Homo-oligomer: A and B are copies of this chain.
Amino acid sequence: MFSIGEFSRIARVSPRQLRHYEALGLFQPERIDPETGYRFYSALQLPRLNRILALKDLGLTLPQIRRLLDANISAEEIRGMLTMRKAQVEQTLREELERIRSIEARIFQVEAQGSLTDDVVLKSVPSRNFLSLRQVLASKEQGFALMAQIFRFLPRLTRRGAPGQFALLFSGESFETENIDVEMGFMFDEEALEPVLLPDGRVMTVHPLPAVEHMATMIHIGITHHESCYGALGIWMEQNQYQLAGPGREVFIEPLQPDRLEEAVMEIQIPVTRTNRDHPALITE
């Protein structure tokens, strides 16, 4: 019989660890002195402790190990738990690989620019309604004109002003500066509104925008000169192995104030999916 100190030196675990395993019902001392509360262990308990440590090395949690050591568990169940755990580790492995790529991209950026820039953040955005007008614009100027018209008419849109955030949705996948297929209007969460007739006879209608699971986003201040954001998004997508997966959006966070457009804050959003490539890391045999 060994005291907890002796036993911990033999097994090379800490006394605290032994007490912790005991508290979890995982590993009990062979005897506890009722007088002093001292714990005593025997050498014959070492195999069980070793099994616990070996399973812990595989990354199983202590409650999982407790279930695994349960006498009533079948080999089939054991295999199931290990297979599940393996899948988990493979998943985190893939994530770590991506993380390394992202860090490398950032290091490269710092070396090239001398500082951190262009913070692209991946988010998931929910479905929203879109009161909008779709049009192919011959030029940027035509776009601004349409925007101005909508905004002149805006106070009459609803009693309480704009129903949500002003946004642009670009359907073409090419980033040309003419013949842009754009949908312009207001994104909002409430139930659908009636269609709206503009003075020139065109009609803004409501349809739902789909939720997007993986949206690469970037914040830009002002309503012009945001081409560099698309450049940065493109580089980010390439370095992080994503590709374009749908129409991009430009969402204005706050109601636009026509006299202070240079202070407008816009979020550029691009739906992305992971580029399929072989993961050399997962070739483990």
Contacts and interface: CB of A to CB of B under 8 A. Distances in A.
A102 B100 CA distance: 23
Interface in A224-245: none
A223 interface: no
A100 B89 contact: yes
Contacts of A116: 51, 55, 68, 78
Q: Interface of chain A, helix or strand or loop or mixed?
A: helix
A262 interface: no
Contact of A284 (B51, B101, B219): B101
Interface string A174-212: 000000000000000000000000000000000000000
Interface string A46-62: 11001101110111000
A43 B254 contact: yes
Contacts of A46: 219, 253, 265, 267
Nearest to A254: B43
B96 A92 contact: yes
A99 B221 contact: no
Nearest to A57: B102
Interface in A6-56: 10, 12, 43-44, 46-47, 50-51, 53-55
Given A119-B51, A221-B44, A58 B281 contact: no
A97 interface: yes
A135 interface: no
B265 A43 contact: yes
Give the size category of A's interface with B.
35 or more
A93 interface: yes
A43 B253 contact: yes
Interface in A74-121: 75, 78-79, 82-83, 85-86, 89-90, 92-93, 96-97, 99-104, 106-107, 110-111, 114-116, 119-121
Nearest to A101: B284
Interface stretch (A122-130, A141-149, A153-161): A122-130
Contacts of A221: 44, 47
A169 interface: no
8 contacts: A12-B124, A44-B265, A57-B121, A68-B116, A78-B110, A86-B107, A97-B284, A280-B281
Given A53-B119, A93-B281, 16 more contacts: A12-B124, A12-B125, A44-B265, A54-B121, A57-B102, A57-B122, A58-B99, A58-B102, A59-B99, A59-B103, A78-B116, A79-B111, A89-B99, A89-B100, A93-B93, A96-B96
